[in-house]
Structure 1
């Protein structure tokens, strides 16, 4: 299971939320574009490849790490015509919520974010009349005590994009066409007419990362004989901030509360059954979803269409290369059974921002090997452990073998009676468990020295400040 560093959470003292947005900051990284035989060449501190949630969060966090004079450039193709919300929603853990707060994003989301106060886990067959709860977790209905907060994906994307625009983060409407890694910089080309040279390239360009492949970083992974499905439903009764995880023979079926009498459903089915479901008309599909959902919340109605996607596991053989850092799906892809994919990516962002801030504190190059190795040490254990955990859960619960069912139900029941174990699991889900390797860098063995141990002359010449510890969670 994943573990976390000795501090429970971190915040950017010089964060994107605090960067002056109305004044034109001097640009030391790009005094003037150069025009040569290869076309226009610009200079930046960091290029972020991608335009999704993790890419936007990375750009904002790195802007905070470098300070207002740092130049961050994002690069990705514009959304395809007609692309819109796919109805997804995310369970944001406490560690992710803290990061979004430091980026100045959380206040714009908080009113529409639905806290998860309780989680109930069942293990049953599709047509069982009663689904006994074998394991439950209780938090608090509001604030820091909530197990997580549900946020709709489009709202999160929009809030991050607005903040990036306010922070004057440049967004090039093209993805890289070629990348050249060198000892002192990385050159990111956009066709023959334009290129950006930077100290660091951050790959936030998804599971099929062009940046990762260009750098020659290997990938270990496999697909599952399942498809993921997600849809939003409305229901008659209040959900009372409770989430359910029904382990069914075809795969896990999670119902996650949203604001109002609405829930987000995320589930997995074997490929043949998923294909059958997607071919059904709306009413028959609603009935099939209701069979899996249960009757606790009354009649259901679908909001929007069901979105389907392949499920897989994968992890990069390295999270860094020469002048390159991988974050989010470019570094790791996990099964959605534990709802931790986005949270892992946000912890990547926090760890990378802290490593870059520590490098800036010491007057070092943010793309040099020291900062990158600090980031990799912080994140490898966390992501590998979570990947192994989700893979094990899928293989353990996505079947209907009677002996295995009896054994796993016994195990769930035992865990439900062990309060210290439950508190530890809750802390893990929040991204706040004790231990090493969380993606939180401060105080980690082998990382940068704590500020108290730095030479005073080093501290006096700093402008950007690194991440600082937040108070421990009660869990």
Structure 2
């Protein structure tokens, strides 16, 4: 056992799974749990050390989980770990206007009471979700976690996939899943190109404390430079996703805390009383990027690795969890029929299920952003009238509420709250 080459071979044999998942953010662990619970052996590889991923400090980041996504988390045994930290979203108010000038009299108001299933969704902080996923994976014997290691190469053959890590270890499996974000190394190494464009916008992300209760109401305020989303967290706190032109966003984010708030206040308004920053501030460049294929030889892409879109509708993670539900269902049913889960025929079923839906959602967010992120007077009149019409028609409102809750389309079983 003193022979380094023999040790490498043994280590490679020991780290062999049915499915290799690259990326341990949120989609990767969700998929790992869904697959492990249907009998697959899974290895999850993430470049971040586990202690970094498990850091419980509040940093201001949070996610809007649609009701269907919450059902998936419940089905894979994660929701019970975060439920006490979740803030239900009971209403959504959408307005249009200028910073400091107040909103247009035309608006859209969506109430969860218009559907029977419950809240439209839940806001959950990043720190609670990540810890819940890590704990759930640690409790699942069919999942192997490799943290703090980077994939440097991948090779595919007729018998499987081999990944070489930055420490020389080789991990083998039958199928590779890329959950490694918009700059997916998995997709790049497989030669998959991407289509998309930059919006010239940057999202300023933070959390605030406020004096008055938010009553579970989410707000979306459209301004010419970009939208401002105010999303309710537990307690008298809200998550802010605020889009500005990139150069302006850089200048704003560089300001001291009080000056930053002085820029935010006229955009935010005073309906929640005095506001204060809570946690760190972040910026994210906004772009649209879609992989030209969601699958390759013995490989599939999930979440932002397959499709990254504008956060205007808060659907990024929700779209990724739909991928998770669809892929887990396709692979599990194929395995039960005795099919090779890595075969092109099986993987094509996943792509057919998800590609049109994600492309449609990406285009919708793109059009919506371009329609609202401008000060064209004719467009403004048209969109204000459109919002007024939608807000006045119960049937249309109900349709929007169901869409926001993730209850439309061809839903995978896990997003219906059902086992595969």
Aligned to 2:177: 202
Aligned to 1:391: 366
Aligned to 2:100: 127
Aligned to 1:462: none
TM-score, normalization by structure 1 = 0.81
The answer (yes or no) to whether the contact 2:61–2:126 under 8 Å persists in 1 is yes
Residue of structure 2 aligned with 1:172, choices 124, 146, 149? 146
- After superposition, residues 34-433 of structure 1 pair within 5 angstroms as 35=6, 40-42=11-13, 43-65=16-38, 67=39, 70-79=40-49, 86-129=59-102, 131-140=104-113, 144-168=117-141, 169-173=143-147, 174-191=149-166, 193-433=168-408
The answer (yes or no) to whether the contact 1:86–1:307 under 8 Å persists in 2 is no
Structure 2: distance between partners of 1:112 and 1:144: 20
- After superposition, residues 436-475 of structure 1 pair within 5 angstroms as 436=410, 438=411, 440=412
RMSD: 2.3
Change (3 A) 1:246 1:192: closer
Deviations 1:370-427 (CA, angstroms, capped at 9, x unpaired)? 3211111110011101100110111111111111111111111111122222222222
Deviations 1:282-331 (CA, angstroms, capped at 9, x unpaired)? 11211221111111111101102321111110111111111001001100
Where in structure 1 do 4 or more consecutive aligned residues deviate above 6 Å? 36-39, 80-83
The answer (yes or no) to whether the contact 2:209–2:275 under 8 Å persists in 1 is yes
What is the aligned length?
A: 407
Specify every segment of 5 or more residues in structure 1 that has no aligned partner in the other structure, as ranges: 1-33, 443-466
Specify every segment of 5 or more residues in structure 2 that has no aligned partner in the other structure, as ranges: none
Q: CA deviation at 1:193?
A: 3.8
Change (3 A) 1:230 1:105: same
Q: CA deviation at 1:94?
A: 1.4
Q: Secondary structure at the match of 1:172?
A: strand
TM-score, normalization by structure 2 = 0.91
Q: CA deviation at 1:79?
A: 3.8
More helix by share: 2
Deviations 1:137-192 (CA, angstroms, capped at 9, x unpaired)? 11149994111100001100110000001113211231221111123311112257
